[in-house]
Amino acid sequence: MGHIEDQTPHRDDGAFLMELPPFPKEKAGNSLCKGSSEKRVATYCSALFLVNRRTERSFIMLLHIPHASTFIPDDEKTQYSQSVLKDQLEKMTDWGAGRIFNVGQRIEFPYSRLLCDVERFADGDEMEKVGMGVCYTRTSNGHILRRVSPERRAEIMTKYYWPHHTKLENAVTDELHKYGRCLIIDCHSFPGVPLPYERDQLRPNFCIGFDRRCQETGEAVACRLHELGYTVGINRPFAGALMPIRYLNDDRVQSVMIEANRDLVDEPQVSNQMDNVLAGIEAEFYM
Ligand SMILES: [Zn+2]
């Protein structure tokens, strides 16, 4: 298990910010946008220009998109009741996350989270208690989704979970070799109406998750979204961002989770706004 544990992703519980409310609009200038110096404004403007010429520039940050696929191979589908599967795909898929996050190298998990949730800890994830660890056995309502024997779980880990984490870790390593730094954006969407298993019922427009080490970058993302007029929850209703354990304490690697409210993701301006926010963050981070 030694090397496997070494690859376990880390999700900080973000407890230090869990109790903060989403930013009140009028406080943005004081509490968060402290870096709005001329330099930052200039960077942001040049980033906007670059996004408009997107075909001429490649973006280098990593967009980790773990929950946007609905694909489950036919031989795996037999494990589920088809009506329950249809309902849970509707509720649990991160709709829109594959569409509104575009500026960066995409690392997408090509299977549904109902088959394997690569954002969970390999061992001891607290969501195991409600049947929603790496291999979901319960639905978002707490009903039976499927049964997974220990042997079957081990197969799923080997076939789907570890290869994805190896791919992500290798992409981070490549970034470090090329640029000396790496920024992971962990891209999600959440339902506008909370699901029964969600303990935090807050529904901002966006939720930004990060741990203490990535606070500056996380707050910069939150600030830019807030400047566009959106409500933003910091580590609420979801906390932390995925970080390969190999780079857990490596300051060259930063990870910020962006969760978009699904009530927003079909609005036509959101994708372009996200492009601009991420381009600005990337320009600042890698400069
Ligand atoms: Zn998600």
Residue 3 lies in a domain: no
Interior angle at CA 109, CA 9 and CA 218, nearest 5: 55
- Residue 201 has a pLDDT of 84
Q: How far is the CA of 46 from the centre of ligand 1 (A)?
A: 31
Q: How far is the CA of 98 from the centre of ligand 1 (A)?
A: 11
Residue 109 lies in a domain: yes
Name beta bridge partners: 65.
108
pLDDT in tens, the chain (287 residues): 333 333 334 443 332 233 333 333 332 222 333 333 333 333 333 444 444 444 445 789 999 999 999 999 999 999 998 999 999 999 999 999 999 999 999 999 999 999 999 999 999 899 999 999 999 999 999 999 999 999 999 999 999 999 999 999 999 999 999 999 999 999 999 999 988 888 888 899 999 999 999 999 999 999 999 999 999 999 999 999 999 999 999 999 999 999 999 999 999 999 999 999 999 999 999 88
Q: How far is the CA of 35 from the centre of ligand 1 (A)?
A: 29
Q: How far is the CA of 189 from the centre of ligand 1 (A)?
A: 6
- Residue 59 has a pLDDT of 84
- When divided into structural domains, the chain yields a total of 1
Q: How far is the CA of 49 from the centre of ligand 1 (A)?
A: 30
Residue 14 lies in a domain: no
- Residue 281 has a pLDDT of 94
N-term to C-term CA, the chain: 39
Q: How far is the CA of 283 from the centre of ligand 1 (A)?
A: 26
Q: How far is the CA of 71 from the centre of ligand 1 (A)?
A: 15
- Residue 206 has a pLDDT of 97
Q: How far is the CA of 114 from the centre of ligand 1 (A)?
A: 11
Q: How far is the CA of 37 from the centre of ligand 1 (A)?
A: 33
Q: H or E segment at 281?
A: helix 268-286
Q: How far is the CA of 88 from the centre of ligand 1 (A)?
A: 13
- Residue 57 has a pLDDT of 59
Q: How far is the CA of 190 from the centre of ligand 1 (A)?
A: 7
Q: Dump pLDDT digits (tens) for 262-274.
A: 999 999 999 999 9
Interior angle at CA 186, CA 101 and CA 211, nearest 5: 140
Distance CA 128, CA 124 (A): 7
Q: How far is the CA of 67 from the centre of ligand 1 (A)?
A: 5
Residue 15 lies in a domain: no
Residue 189: name the closest of 260, 249, 256, 281 by CA: 260
Residue 19 lies in a domain: no
The CATH number of whichever domain residue 145 belongs to comes to: 3.40.630.40
Alpha-carbon torsion 233, 221, 63, 178, what sign? negative
Distance CA 69, CA 111 (A): 5
Q: How far is the CA of 117 from the centre of ligand 1 (A)?
A: 9
Q: How far is the CA of 92 from the centre of ligand 1 (A)?
A: 8
Q: How far is the CA of 171 from the centre of ligand 1 (A)?
A: 20
Q: Is 232 helix (H, G, I), strand (E, B) or coil?
A: strand
Residue 16 lies in a domain: no
Angle between helices 215-227 and 268-286 (to 10 degrees): 140
Name beta bridge partners: 206.
232, 260
Residue 2 lies in a domain: no
Q: How far is the CA of 166 from the centre of ligand 1 (A)?
A: 19
Residue 213: domain span: 24-286
Distance CA 166, CA 6 (A): 11
- Residue 200 has a pLDDT of 83
Residue 253 lies in a domain: yes
Bin 142: left if φ > 0, else alpha if -120 < ψ < 50, else beta: left
